[in-house]
Amino acid sequence: MSFLDTHLLSIVTFLPFATALGLTLVRGLPESTWRALGLASTTLTFLLSVRLFTEFDPTRSGYQFVETAKWLPEWGIRWFVGIDGVSLLLVVLTTFLVPLALLASWNDIQRSVRSWIFFVLALETGMLGAFVSLNLFQFYVFWELMLVPMYFMIGIWGGPRRVYAAIKFFLFTMFGSLLMLVAMLVVYYLHYEQFGVLSLDLPALLRTHIPGRTQDWLFLAFALAFAVKVPMVPFHTWLPDAHVEAPTAGSVILAGVLLKMGTYGFIRFALPLFPQASADFAPVIFFLAVVGILYGSLVAMVQADLKKLVAYSSVAHLGFVMLGMFALNVEGIEGSVLQMVNHGLSTGALFLLVGMLYERRHTREIAAFGGVAKPMPVYAAMFGIVAMSSIGLPMLNGFVGEFLILLGAFQASPGFAVPATFGVVLAAGYLLWAYRRVFFGPLENPENRALIDLDRREKLVMVLILVPIFWIGIQPNVLLRRLDAATLELLRTMESRAVAMREAP
């Protein structure tokens, strides 16, 4: 086998950051070269991730493309990566959105372009590293690494309140991360006490017996870190500020990928490591998820700023993701993971579209528009399609994920599933109402009459993101087949660990 075949996952992970480092070593490169090579690197990373997707065997359980290497063996720390169906979809989503974000920011980012490209490439490696890590220390390193580039992306290229938003984002996520670190150390020493071996590998830790009360506290520590990142109500207050102040490309990456770190963390670590605590706290998560769905939708409905409306819609959509996940059945978990992908595409596309409008009018106030469909018919059509996908219209990507989530939630807890369904109605309310106010009615504002429709670059970006929106809506089984084995393995692991812990003296 070739080097590419045996190290494909590591190459996909480190190619963006290696490109960033290489560019910094060559002095005098013009900004246009940085842009071109940054886009080329992220595009190549996506093409390599497509190879992961096509060569992934959906009939096999366990991790695939596994790689190991010595790192700090005396502490049980090593380079240990691999993917299952869950991480595969999120890796492909990441590598797909990052080059689109770079392409979308081609004219938007004009200041410190080299630094911008460097931070985007570093952020991509951080996100990919977290999705493929099977060693907890390694996961934590990448988890923290992601904070730094996004902090600078918001703080340097953001809006008027960018420093406040960047610091708030950093402090919220850092606080949760420190609690998770403490919990990781406890699991680490519990494993050492029971087996006499220092290891932070996830498969090894899944053999560790964790007593009931200890398991509850450890679950809460992990859950708080992940809940902040999701973000779940009431830990969501950093998100609207970060979204509104971030540049368009930063908002796309934040909504499309970074928020999925929290939901992914629950599936990869919290559920299998603490199965009994996960089941015990499921009603609490259900309650917070339903509150997030209804609260996010109602607050989005009254927003005057179009970008803030989309930001609050993320709170509602990720409430659905958490609802399906803690249904703890096949339908709920598969719908949850699929909805992570769908949210990344639909909400990422909405942020792109809002950014394109802001570039032309330098305002996001809904009241400043009206009748925009007349000068910008292509833009209006694409915005309408993406809005429908976010609502969950059949034949578009959002429908299948929400349907599976509600199906799983009804099986687990009809009392929580019923109010959650109103979130679908509210989503139609705030998105269609905003769409009508922006695009239809009389074209009274003279500044709107001079608006120019999408150029070739913008059309290319939107067409590229519309393709998977339709494809997933029409052929969702292509993704669901790759989730089956991972979902069943997760549920089997949780059940076997829960039984073993109940039977332990």
Mean pLDDT, consecutive 10-residue segments, the chain of 505 residues? 79 95 88 92 96 93 91 86 95 96 86 91 95 94 91 90 90 86 92 88 91 90 92 87 88 90 94 93 95 94 92 92 94 95 94 93 90 94 95 92 95 92 92 94 86 92 95 94 94 86 63
Residues 218 and 207: their CA atoms lie apart, in Å, by 16
Which helix (H) or strand (E) segment holds residue 81: the answer is: strand 77-83
Question: Is 375 buried (19+), middle (13-18) or exposed (0-12) by CB count in 10 A?
Answer: middle
Q: Please give the Cα distance from 246 to 358 (Å, whole number).
A: 13
CA dist 129 and 227 (Å) reads 20
- Would residue 150 count as lying in a domain? no
DSSP bridge partners of 69: 79
Type of residue numbered 1: M
* Nearest C-alpha neighbor of 104 from the set 306, 352, 346, 344: 352
Token pair in block for residue 305: 């700023």
145 domain-assigned: no
* CB neighbours of residue 226 within 10 Å: 25
Q: Does 482 reside within a domain? A: yes
Name residues whose C-beta falls within 8 Å of residue 18's C-beta, 6 or more positions apart in sequence. Answer: none
In a domain, 12, yes or no: no
d(CA 277, CA 212): 7
pLDDT given at position 176: 80
Three-class SS of residue 79?
A: strand
Q: For 60, left (φ over 0), alpha (ψ -120 to 50), or beta?
A: beta
pLDDT at site 61: 85
What are the φ/ψ torsions at residue 255 (nearest 5 degrees)? -75, -40
Domain extent at residue 426: 274-505
DSSP per-residue letters across 170-222: HHHHHHHHHHHHHHHHHHHHHHHHHHS----BHHHHTT----HHHHHHHHHHH
User: In the numeric block, which tokens belong to residue 318?
Assistant: 């990720």
| Chain centre distance of CA 459 | 24
Asked, for residue 45, whether it belongs to a domain, the answer is: no
pLDDT at 504: 60
d(CA 460, CA 196): 56
Reported pTM: 0.94
* Residue 298 located in a structural domain: yes
Residue 240 lies in a domain: no
Q: How many domains does the chain have?
A: 1
Number of alpha carbons in the 13 Å side-chain half-sphere of residue 137: 16
What pLDDT, on a 0 to 100 scale, did the predictor assign at position 443? Answer: 86
Take residue 448 and report the two structure tokens written for it. 């709107």
Does residue 354 fall inside a structural domain?
A: yes
**CB 222, CB 228: distance < 8 Å:** no
The packing angle between helices 306-325 and 275-301, to 10°, is 150
Give the model's pLDDT for residue 244: 86
| Neighbouring-strand partners of residue 135 | 201
